[in-house]
């Protein structure tokens, strides 16, 4: 097989975003008419690889060869010129334009006179929609379509460009079963036509169903690659996570007796939030640190926000301290003694142009009588105490919060809430992009609080972090609880297999 030239080859690709390494000596090869799976857990760099090929991310180093010739992909235009078409995970459709205009965007059909050929456009778009079994009118606005239809449309748009290379970045995440079948049918047709595809997914079964080769990434590096037939499911999971998955029977709900002496703080029953959360039930007891694990986007953020009142639930119930919650806004949750720490600190937690002191005091500012007199002394003492207690490295309290490092910003946000002594603290991936030292400090603070009776629910994409801090772990997969790990069951191996959605039943299929 040595004489087969790789149609596409990426060699030694490096990419750094500031100090963060996104790709380190990453590589990928795809032959003609081949479907190459690109697998890896959260933040392993697979989406960045796709973005490099799509011309959205300029690598700091490395080479890309097409047909043995070195090419430079500096922009989206370059990428299209080299024959790439990309279906993005977060969609490249314009919501306020029609289906037809979206599909033809940039390659509008013209009449001889130079006008847009409406008749021909409609015809080709209708053909494309039929091929993809997309049930909508070419004139429908994209924003009126279901998320799954939009995802299909995103793929259809890419396929319409008749690419040499089709890049599919987690396109099946919101697709229904029959839509996935349709998509796979089309992928097989394209394969027969000689189109090469890069298929990013975290659904293991899809890799075995449709892909020829697999490239596995971990921590920004390409770990291994080869024919899919040479890998078992356990191999793939091992390469992705570094831990061997272990299969276990049942989800192991801890027997009620273990907890009869503890107060039930949060009780979620059959919660559903369209489109991501399908059926989640979980409990958290007083003084307990409950972890929520899973790959990115399995509904963790939505569930946490639903408890706070920031996201409306579609079905099921959430009880807090024995009473069903009816929060209309986070303000209601905060009033009830719930605190929320977001890992998306720039968008959701920090007030960058306000002072450090104001940022620490923010939770206090948000709670209580609007026109009560606050002395500077009171504010200063509160923030100075928090800075001292939680060892936040600052210049002056009056400096803008943007002057702090990421780790210290996150410590500040955690301190902001803990100083308020909430009953229940919700943390959504709180140590995202935080250095290891600050992460440890944050964990220590959280443990301390739980020991003093605070209930903590923490979601984290990092398995080690979850293992480290939580008493029990609910693992989410596709909007459902794939496993509840506690006691002896709480092992990295179990966590990893549950994150990949591997259930005992699937093992038998293997």
Question: Judged by CB under 8 A, which of 330, 397, 423, 480 binds another protein?
Answer: 330
Question: Judged by CB under 8 A, which of 161, 164, 246, 335 binds another protein?
Answer: 335
Structure tokens at 434: 């935080």
Question: Judged by CB under 8 A, which of 280, 350, 467, 485 binds another protein?
Answer: 350
CA distance 283 to 386: 30
CA distance 486 to 472: 5
In the complex with another protein, the residue whose CB is nearer, 146 or 331, is 331
308 binds another protein (CB under 8 A): yes
Tell me how many residues contact another protein (CB under 8 A): 36
What is the x/- site pattern for another protein, positions 399-418, by CB under 8 A?
Answer: -----------------x--
- For the CB of residue 348, give the shortest distance to another protein in the complex, in Å: 5
Which residues have a Cβ under 8 Å from the Cβ of 46 and sit 6 or more positions away?
38, 39, 40, 169, 200, 217
329 binds another protein (CB under 8 A): yes
* Local structure of 64: helix, strand or coil: strand
Q: What secondary structure does DSSP assign to 238-306, as a single string?
A: HHHHSS-----SS--PPPGGGGTTS-EEEEEEEEEETTTEEEEEEEEETT-EEEEE-STTSSHHHHHHH
CB distance 310 to 386 below 8 Å = no
352 binds another protein (CB under 8 A): yes
Question: Judged by CB under 8 A, which of 22, 186, 204, 334 binds another protein?
Answer: 334
Q: What is the 3-state secondary structure (H, E, C) of 79-99?
A: HHHCCEEEECCCCCCCCCCEH
Pick the piece of the chain touching another protein (CB under 8 A) from 113-121, 362-370, 381-389, 502-510: 362-370
Question: Judged by CB under 8 A, which of 217, 306, 349, 458 binds another protein?
Answer: 349
In the complex with another protein, the residue whose CB is nearer, 78 or 358, is 358
In the complex with another protein, the residue whose CB is nearer, 242 or 337, is 337
CA distance 451 to 445: 10
- For the CB of residue 416, give the shortest distance to another protein in the complex, in Å: 8
Question: Judged by CB under 8 A, which of 363, 479, 492, 501 binds another protein?
Answer: 363
| Buried-exposed string 167-201: b where 16+ CB fall within 10 A, e elsewhere | bbbbbbbbbeeebbebbeebbeebbeeebbbbbbb
**Using CB under 8 A, which residues numbered 223 to 242 contact another protein?**
none
CA angle (232, 238, 239) in 5-degree steps: 95
Pick the piece of the chain touching another protein (CB under 8 A) from 167-175, 313-321, 332-340, 488-496: 332-340
310 binds another protein (CB under 8 A): yes
CB distance 240 to 41 below 8 Å = yes
- For the CB of residue 430, give the shortest distance to another protein in the complex, in Å: 13
What is the x/- site pattern for another protein, positions 365-394, by CB under 8 A?
Answer: xxxxxxxxxxxx------------------
- For the CB of residue 76, give the shortest distance to another protein in the complex, in Å: 23
177 binds another protein (CB under 8 A): no
Which residues have a Cβ under 8 Å from the Cβ of 66 and sit 6 or more positions away?
7, 8, 9, 82, 83
- Tell me which residues touch another protein (CB under 8 A): 308, 310, 329-331, 333-335, 340, 342, 346-354, 358, 361-363, 365-376, 416
């Amino acid at each position: 097989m040595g004489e087969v030239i790789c149609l596409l080859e990426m060699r030694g690709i490096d990419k750094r975003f500031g100090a963060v390494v996104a790709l380190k000596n990453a590589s990928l090869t795809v032959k003609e008419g081949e479907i190459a799976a690109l697998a890896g857990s959260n933040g392993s760099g697979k989406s960045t690889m796709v973005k490099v090929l799509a011309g959205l991310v300029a690598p700091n180093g490395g080479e890309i060869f097409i047909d043995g010739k070195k090419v430079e992909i500096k922009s989206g235009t370059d990428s299209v010129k080299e024959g790439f078409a990309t279906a993005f995970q977060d969609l490249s459709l314009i919501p306020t334009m029609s289906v037809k205009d979206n599909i033809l965007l940039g390659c509008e059909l013209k009449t001889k006179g130079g006008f847009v050929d409406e008749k021909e456009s409609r015809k080709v778009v209708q053909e494309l929609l039929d091929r993809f079994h997309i049930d909508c009118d070419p004139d429908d606005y994209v924003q009126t379509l279901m998320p799954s239809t939009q995802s299909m449309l995103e793929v259809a748009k890419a396929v319409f460009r008749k690419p040499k290379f089709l890049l599919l970045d987690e396109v099946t995440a919101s697709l229904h079963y029959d839509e996935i079948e349709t998509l796979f049918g089309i992928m097989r047709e394209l394969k027969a036509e000689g189109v090469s595809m890069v298929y990013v997914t975290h659904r293991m079964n899809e890799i075995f169903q449709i892909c020829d080769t697999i490239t596995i990434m971990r921590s920004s590096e390409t770990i291994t690659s080869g024919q899919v037939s040479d890998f078992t499911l356990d191999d793939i999971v091992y390469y992705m996570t570094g831990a061997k998955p272990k299969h276990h029977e049942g989800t192991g709900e801890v027997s009620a007796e273990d907890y009869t002496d503890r107060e039930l703080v949060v009780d979620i029953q059959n919660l559903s939030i369209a489109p991501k959360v399908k059926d989640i039930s979980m409990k958290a007891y007083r003084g307990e640190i409950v972890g929520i694990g899973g790959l990115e986007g399995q509904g963790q953020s939505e569930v946490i926000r639903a408890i706070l009142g920031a996201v409306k639930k579609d079905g099921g119930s959430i009880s807090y301290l024995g009473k069903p919650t009816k929060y209309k806004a986070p303000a209601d949750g905060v009033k009830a003694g719930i605190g929320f720490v977001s890992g998306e600190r720039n968008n959701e937690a920090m007030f960058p142009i306000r002072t450090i002191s104001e940022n620490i005091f923010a939770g206090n500012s948000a709670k209580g009588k609007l026109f009560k007199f606050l002395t500077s002394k009171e504010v200063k003492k509160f923030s100075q105490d928090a800075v001292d207690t939680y060892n936040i490295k600052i210049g002056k309290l009056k400096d803008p919060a943007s002057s702090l490092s990421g780790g210290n910003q996150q410590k500040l946000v955690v301190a902001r809430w803990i100083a308020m002594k909430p009953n229940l603290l919700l943390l959504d991936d709180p140590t995202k992009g935080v250095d290891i030292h600050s992460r440890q400090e944050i964990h220590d603070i959280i443990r301390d609080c739980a020991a003093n009776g605070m209930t903590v629910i923490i979601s984290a994409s990092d398995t080690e972090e979850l293992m480290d801090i939580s008493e029990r772990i609910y693992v989410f997969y596709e909007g459902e609880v794939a496993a509840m790990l506690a006691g002896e069951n709480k092992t990295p191996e179990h966590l990893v297999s549950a994150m990949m959605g591997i259930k005992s039943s699937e093992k038998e299929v293997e």
